[in-house]
C-alpha cells in the first residue's frame, strides 16, 4: 500500500524533465534513487523535495492505518479461554509402557 501511494504521489510531484528519463513501465520510486546523485543542482533539489513530500504523505497514511488498527483492537470482544481438559488428548501415565517407537528405540528387521 505504501509503495502505491509513493509511486502515485511521485508521478504527480516529480518534474516532467526527470520523469522523461525513464520508460513508462518503470517504477519511478525505486529506479530514480541512483539517478538523483547525477542530476544538476536545480533539478536535484526539485526531485529531493518531491521525494520528501511524497514520503510525508506515505507516513501520514500509515499512521492512519495504524490508528485504525489500534481502534479496531479496542473494539474486539474478549473471548475466554477454556479451562477444562479433554481427557481424550491427555498423555499416557508414566507407569504404562509405550511401544518401542515412542520410547525412542528403533527396531531392526531381521530375516
Cell output for 111: 530375516
- Whether the CB-CB separation of 6 and 29 falls below 8 Å is answered with yes
Q: What is the pLDDT of residues 5-24, one digit of tens each?
A: 998 898 888 888 888 888 87
Q: What is the DSSP letter of 98?
A: P
Q: How many domains does the chain have?
A: 1
Tell whether 83 is covered by a domain. Answer: no
pTM above 0.75, yes or no: no
Tell whether 102 is covered by a domain. Answer: no
Tell whether 82 is covered by a domain. Answer: no
Tell whether 67 is covered by a domain. Answer: yes
Tell me the residue range of the domain where 15 lies.
2-75
Give the whole-angstrom CA distance, residue 85 versus residue 63.
43
Strand residue runs (E) in 1-111: none
Q: Can you give the pLDDT at residue 93? A: 64
If one counts every other C-beta atom within 10 angstroms of the C-beta of residue 55, the result is: 16
Residue written as grid cell 488428548: 89
- Whether the CB-CB separation of 58 and 6 falls below 8 Å is answered with yes
On the question of pLDDT at 28 being above 90, the answer is no
Tell whether 101 is covered by a domain. Answer: no
Tell whether 12 is covered by a domain. Answer: yes
Tell whether 111 is covered by a domain. Answer: no
Q: What is the DSSP letter of 88?
A: G
Q: Can you give the pLDDT at residue 92? A: 65
Q: What is the pLDDT of residues 29-71, one digit of tens each?
A: 888 888 888 888 888 899 899 999 999 999 999 999 999 999 9
Tell whether 68 is covered by a domain. Answer: yes
Amino acid at each position: 500500500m505504501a509503495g502505491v501511494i509513493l509511486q502515485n504521489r511521485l508521478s504527480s510531484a516529480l518534474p516532467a524533465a526527470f520523469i522523461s528519463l525513464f520508460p513508462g513501465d518503470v517504477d519511478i520510486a525505486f529506479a530514480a534513487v541512483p539517478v538523483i546523485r547525477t542530476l544538476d543542482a536545480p533539478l536535484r533539489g526539485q526531485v529531493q523535495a518531491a521525494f520528501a513530500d511524497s514520503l510525508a504523505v506515505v507516513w501520514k497514511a500509515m499512521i492512519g492505518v495504524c490508528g485504525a488498527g489500534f481502534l479496531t483492537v479496542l473494539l474486539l470482544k474478549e473471548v475466554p479461554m477454556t479451562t477444562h481438559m479433554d481427557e481424550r488428548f491427555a498423555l499416557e501415565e508414566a507407569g504404562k509402557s509405550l511401544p518401542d517407537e515412542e520410547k525412542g528405540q528403533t527396531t531392526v528387521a531381521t530375516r
